Amino acid sequence: MEYITLLGAKVPVLGFGTAGIKGKQGKKAMKNALNSGYRLIDTAQSYNNEDIVGSAVSEVNVDREDLFITTKIRGRNLSYDDVIDSFDESLRKLKMDYVDLLLIHWPNENVPLKETLNAMNKLKEEGRIKHIGVSNFTVPLMDKARKVSKASILCNQVEYHPFLSQEKILTYCQMHSLLLTAYSPLARGKVGANETLKKLGKKYGKTPFQVTLRWHIQQENVMAIPRSSSPRHQEENIDVFDFSLSSEDMQTISNLERGERLIDPKSAPWR
């Protein structure tokens, strides 16, 4: 595994996304991911699987200090007291004393951002979270978060894949030493059918999925959290450290951008 070091955080460039992964099979998938070498697990209150993450982590032979655990506060829990109370519940489910990164899952215009971040800062001061971040924030919202938070904002987690440019957010992150965490990095599997990515896969002896993940992690301040319940796909997704894409091929992949946003709720801040 390779790492990005920002703001004192050592973050794996590839993590394991857990949205939709539940039950016995979900726990099995998480354990296999950890045993395959994944060291970052990304969960959320709204995924309803923090308890499964906690059980999986407790049942594998990996030191907690070697893991990077991320969870997210759901939109209805962003008032000061709700942040504290819901996070207490998250820790109980995770069976952990702390998480490495706590994110605001989606911005909520009905709750002052400063109120939410004040609660998250308190949790950080208490040592129950190591770092603070956001998700699905636009550049103006990122700017506001950085201004009102006492602690530095580590990352913004957004949908990012070859078919959806996040140039403005990425440029902002790079300028201000923030991490861009790419969710849905494989565009829900759509990259596998793209002819350009298939040709590049043949060129490098890799799959279109591996080429896509390599494209992500070769960009400055970018890491990705692919999701898969399949042991074969999990191991394939993490097998991207033995090759590099040329600058020309990096640009070719970036040129696949077509504004295809897969996660676009009516309440999204970019609407």
CATH number where 142 lies = 3.20.20.100
Q: Say if 271 falls within a structural domain.
A: no
Give the alpha-carbon dihedral of 213, 214, 220, 221, to 10 degrees: 40
The verdict on residue 235 lying in a domain is yes
Q: How many CB atoms lie within 10 A of CB 196?
A: 16
- One of 38, 47, 160, 172 is an active-site residue; which one? 47
Instruction: Identify whether 133 is part of a domain.
Output: yes
Question: Does residue 32 lie within any of the structural domains?
Answer: yes
If one counts the domains in the chain, the total is: 1
pLDDT of residue 228: 94
Residue 193: the pLDDT is 98
- H or E element: which one contains 133? strand 129-135
Residue 38 annotated among the catalytic residues of the structure: no
- Residue 200 domain-assigned? yes
Residues of the chain with pLDDT under 70: none
Contact present, 157 and 173 (Cβ < 8 Å): no
Task: Give pTM, 2 decimals.
Answer: 0.97
pLDDT at 12: 98
Model pLDDT, residue 20: 94
| Token pair belonging to 64 | 């907690």
Residue 254: what pLDDT? 98
pLDDT at 219: 99
Is 259 a member of any domain? no
The 3-state DSSP class for residue 47 equals helix
Q: Mean pLDDT of all residues in the chain?
A: 98
Nearest to 106 by CA among 75, 145, 138: 75
Residue 147 domain boundaries: 3-254
In a domain, 269, yes or no: no
